[in-house]
Amino acid sequence: MTAIELINALRSLLQDENAPYKWADSAMIRYLNEAEEQTCRRAHLLIDANTASICAFSVSASVASYLLHSKIIQIRRLAVDSATIPLTQTYRDEMDRKDVAWMSLTGRPEAFIHEANNELLLIGIPQSVDTARMVVARLPLANFSNGSGETPEIDPKHHNGLLDWAMLRAYEKRDSDTQNIQASQFYETKFTVMFGPLPTAKAERLKRTLPRNMSARTREFGT
């Protein structure tokens, strides 16, 4: 469904198909943009390995720290061209337990830390240029604009789910002709059943900074 088709579907659900409208197109576009971002934060619907500006970066000699693209939610896999296996994700406390001098280790990187501020730290410090390539969960790259024929990035099977978020936001509008708290809560429940609850800030931080499977035994650095 395009943005225009989604707006038309919203107007039909809201019984707001004739001008003057109770909800402006600009408000509906805003609701739909929020909806797609919510689906990605909740369910990680956009997994990307191919967008070069997001999924790859040049590694410089003697530089261990890199700021990643703001759209990245989580790194699923990271490898460098010079290695035959992917790097292991770890975290500061774990590295401190292994080697207090870990921040000064040099050589081809074998592990990485993904910080809460989207900084990536390679361990050890690379001694030659390289290229890092990632598989990531990310947010949508672009927003819908008014009157556009753009389509959501998420799979078409989830497009109707965007309407539930837009409906809950529409019924939150503070006006005697639009506000309906009971209806808003109904659509919020529908959306959460489909895509899961919104992670707290702490949960998002942990998803980003900790290895995806904490119960798995990680490979010892340097082995």
Q: How far apart are CA 119 and CA 68, in angstroms?
A: 6
Q: What is the mean pLDDT of residues 2-13?
A: 94
Taking the C-alpha atoms of residue 170 and residue 177, their distance in angstroms, rounded to an integer, is 11
Q: Structure pTM?
A: 0.90
β-strand partners of 114: 120
Q: What is the pLDDT of residue 222?
A: 45
Q: Note the pLDDT of residue 144.
A: 87
Q: What is the distance between the alpha carbons of residues 97 and 154, in angstroms, rounded to a whole number?
A: 40
Mean pLDDT score, 27-49: 97
Split at pLDDT 50, 70, 90, the class of 24 is very high
- Which residues have C-beta within 8 Å of that of residue 157, sequence separation ≥ 6? none
- Section 204-222 average pLDDT: 69
What is the phi/psi pair of residue 3, to 5°?
-60, -40
Structure tokens at 218: 């990680």
Residues 6+ apart with CB under 8 A from 177: 22
- State both tokens at 122: 């390679």
Provide the pLDDT for residue 56: 98
Q: How far is CA 76 from CA 118, 131, 137, in A?
A: 14, 17, 7
Mean pLDDT score across all residues of the chain: 93
Confidence of residue 147 (pLDDT cuts 50, 70, 90): low
Residue whose C-alpha is closest to residue 164's, from 196, 135, 125: 196
